[in-house]
Amino acid sequence: FDMLNADNWYPWKRCMQALLSEHNLLSHIERMREWDEIDMRAQNQIELCVGDTEMVYLIGALTVGQMWSQLIMVKELRGELGVM
């Protein structure tokens, strides 16, 4: 089938799903969706527990892991005991 281009998303997607299914790889996409949902729920939990003034430290984070890393960098790496 044709390579993905600016004008063929739907037919390309259908063919790609068939190809992935044929090679027993379609389940990996489903697991990615599950992972994305779990990651989003974890992000929401962190955001609900971070005050407005501290929310700036989460800007640009796309995953809960990135959010956590950014908080650690700000709160722990500013000195021996971090920012308290």
Instruction: Say if residues 8 and 2 touch (Cβ distance below 8 Å).
Output: yes
Token pair listed for 42 = 């974890």
Distances (CA, A) of 57 to 9, 60, 69, 77: 36, 9, 10, 13
Instruction: Write down the pLDDT at residue 32.
Output: 86
Q: Give the predicted TM-score (pTM) of the model.
A: 0.65
**Reported confidence tier of residue 14, pLDDT bands at 50, 70, 90:** very high
Instruction: Say if residues 25 and 16 touch (Cβ distance below 8 Å).
Output: no
The per-residue pLDDT for range 16-49, each reduced to its tens digit, is: 999 999 998 888 888 888 899 999 999 999 999 9
